[in-house]
């Protein structure tokens, strides 16, 4: 299996190389040359496999340049009961209205990004050791991505993580989660400024080609193909968990921001998994809902992005969206170049004549959920089912209820635990006890390790230099 770029100007590459890449050199995103097709017989054989076994069967179709036994070992070490709380890894439960909830949020940082990032940590370590390489991750986070990356890469050989966060802007829980890590290869840097300032520093360092090369600077952002492929697995797991036979179809409802999660669902569907519809749920930042309703894609600037109570979806330029549009245009790289040239000038594009294909051939629908909607859903689910769901999952449930057809089996992906977003949960249901996974009880009182710096890329470069030259 080789990988190609959505912009068509990059040589075909094997998985191990794509794993360590961010954007392709031509500015595009990497995708497999074609999607492996799963026959009904194979699907039947996969029913009943354990999560790591299923992950091996699916991922070995995409990862053909790592020996099978090594890939199996990486996956067995990744998807463990110790890391994800249950041997099932992504257990499914049913609400009293029949909607299913698939828990993707039982990993170390209580958000679905662990599902892929834990794999990425082990895969990076394996590939770097094999090739005798080093990688220094420089990232910016407003919460979930940074902590998921740090917990995935802590203590890994050949890797350092330099993670920028806006000083004082994350929740106490999120700060404690990241800053309490004492591993020597994890470096928390709090910047006097906003998340966008952190991101600008990352860009400034990336743009210094000499520095980037000398210090082997890389990223783990959500366009990384290794993350998408790991996410394909739980769509299969969720399907097997909620059906008895392959005659049945399931729809997935996905709280979305960068389109990474639902992009994996799209790929599972293209492989032949019997998915009826892919339901994209957004919050107040509704660029994706607008596209799936009208065919117009109009990314907003940072000033026009709302700060909401489901903050991990506060995204107005969905970085993985290009992967879907590539498939939608029958993989026409020159059309992608033209469309993203429009995005680059801030205009966006209109594909309204393809809307029926988006719905009928690709199964996409969408909806959006606002602050009052998510508060109401959190309160309703608490009353009817005695469970607390987090604000992002609540957005998904709201939209699933709204678009559900008679008899449709909908699995809502649970993308975080309520414990991570206490303030909004309290606002919805009052000051109740929010369950926390074992081991996280006294998190906020642990000693923290973080350097506070001015909003200045040179200062960050100096920290990287000093650390790596020690």
Ligand X SMILES: *Cc1c(COP(=O)(O)O)cnc(C)c1O
Interface residue list for ligand X (CB under 6 A) = 111-113, 144, 222, 255-261, 312-313, 392, 415-416
Whose tokens are 């210094």? That residue is: 208
Among 13, 100, 113, 368, the one annotated catalytic = 113
**Smallest distance from ligand X to CB 309, Å:** 12
Residue closer to ligand X, measured from CB, 126 or 252: 252
**Smallest distance from ligand X to CB 284, Å:** 14
Residue closer to ligand X, measured from CB, 125 or 390: 390
Q: What is the DSSP letter of 177?
A: H
**Smallest distance from ligand X to CB 213, Å:** 29
Residue closer to ligand X, measured from CB, 257 or 367: 257
Q: Which residues contact 91 (CB under 8 A, 6 or more apart)?
A: 102, 103, 106, 241
Dist CA 98 CA 100 (whole Å): 6
Residue 58 near residue 252, CB atoms below 8 Å: no
Residue closer to ligand X, measured from CB, 256 or 308: 256
**Smallest distance from ligand X to CB 161, Å:** 18
- Name the nearest CA neighbour of 317 among 334, 293, 342, 337: 342
**Smallest distance from ligand X to CB 389, Å:** 11
Dist CA 395 CA 375 (whole Å): 9
The rounded Cα 417 to chain-centroid distance in angstroms is 15
Phi, psi of 230 (to 5 degrees): -65, -30
**Smallest distance from ligand X to CB 434, Å:** 15
Residue closer to ligand X, measured from CB, 246 or 285: 285
Residue closer to ligand X, measured from CB, 74 or 288: 288
Dist CA 158 CA 155 (whole Å): 9
**Smallest distance from ligand X to CB 392, Å:** 4
Dist CA 135 CA 131 (whole Å): 11
Sign of the alpha-carbon torsion through 277, 281, 287, 290: positive
Q: In sequence order, what DSSP letters do the residues of 123-162 get, joined into one string? A: HHHHHHHHHT--EEEEEE-SSHHHHHHHHHHTT-TTEEEE
Residue closer to ligand X, measured from CB, 46 or 112: 112
Residue 401 near residue 99, CB atoms below 8 Å: yes
- Name the nearest CA neighbour of 59 among 178, 207, 237: 237
Dist CA 172 CA 102 (whole Å): 27
**Smallest distance from ligand X to CB 395, Å:** 8
Residue closer to ligand X, measured from CB, 113 or 169: 113
Q: What is the DSSP letter of 13?
A: B
Catalytic site includes residue 461: no
The rounded Cα 374 to chain-centroid distance in angstroms is 21
Using DSSP's 3-state secondary structure scheme, residue 230 falls into helix
- Name the nearest CA neighbour of 55 among 236, 250, 242: 236
The rounded Cα 436 to chain-centroid distance in angstroms is 22
Residues forming the active site: 113
């Amino acid at each position: 299996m080789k990988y190609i770029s959505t912009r068509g100007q990059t040589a075909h590459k094997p998985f191990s190389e794509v794993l360590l890449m961010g954007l392709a050199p031509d500015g595009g995103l990497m995708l497999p040359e074609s999607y492996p097709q799963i026959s009904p017989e194979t699907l039947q054989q996969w029913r009943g496999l354990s999560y790591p076994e299923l992950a091996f069967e699916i991922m070995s179709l995409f990862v053909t340049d790592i020996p099978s036994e090594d890939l199996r070992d990486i996956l067995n070490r990744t998807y463990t009961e110790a890391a994800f709380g249950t041997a099932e890894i992504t257990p499914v439960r049913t609400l009293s209205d029949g909607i299913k909830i698939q828990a993707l949020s039982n990993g170390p940082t209580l958000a679905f990004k662990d599902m892929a990032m834990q794999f990425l940590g082990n895969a990076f370590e394996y590939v770097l050791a094999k090739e005798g390489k080093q990688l220094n991750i420089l990232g910016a986070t407003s919460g979930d991505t940074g902590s998921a990356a740090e917990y995935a890469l802590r203590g890994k050989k050949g890797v350092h993580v330099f993670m920028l966060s806006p000083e004082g802007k994350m929740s106490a829980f999120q700060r404690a989660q990241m800053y309490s890590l004492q591993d020597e290869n994890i470096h928390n840097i709090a910047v006097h400024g906003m998340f966008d300032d952190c991101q600008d520093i990352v860009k400034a360092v990336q743009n210094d080609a000499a520095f980037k090369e000398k210090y082997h600077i890389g990223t783990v952002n959500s366009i990384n193909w290794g993350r998408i492929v790991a996410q394909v697995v739980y769509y299969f797991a969720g399907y097997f968990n909620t059906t008895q036979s392959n005659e049945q179809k399931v729809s997935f409802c996905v709280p979305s921001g960068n389109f990474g999660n639902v992009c994996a669902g799209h790929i599972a569907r293209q492989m032949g998994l019997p998915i009826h519809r892919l339901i994209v749920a957004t919050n107040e930042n509704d660029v994706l809902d607008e596209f799936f309703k009208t065919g117009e894609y109009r990314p907003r600037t940072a000033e026009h992005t709302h700060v909401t109570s489901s903050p991990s979806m506060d995204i107005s330029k969905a970085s993985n969206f290009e992967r879907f549009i590539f498939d939608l245009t029958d993989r026409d790289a020159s059309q992608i170049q033209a469309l993203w040239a429009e995005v680059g000038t801030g205009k966006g594009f209109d594909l309204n004549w393809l809307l029926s294909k988006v719905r009928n051939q690709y199964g996409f629908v969408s909806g959006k959920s606002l602050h009052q909607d998510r508060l109401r859903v959190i309160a309703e689910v608490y009353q009817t089912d005695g469970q607390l769901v987090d604000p992002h999952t609540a957005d998904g449930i709201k939209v699933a209820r709204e678009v559900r057809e008679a008899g449709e089996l909908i699995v809502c992906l649970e993308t975080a635990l309520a414990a991570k977003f206490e303030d909004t949960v309290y606002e919805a249901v009052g000051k109740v006890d929010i369950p926390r996974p074992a081991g996280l009880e006294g998190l906020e009182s642990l000693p923290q390790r973080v350097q506070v710096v001015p909003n200045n890329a040179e200062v960050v470069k100096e920290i990287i230099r000093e650390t790596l030259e020690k």
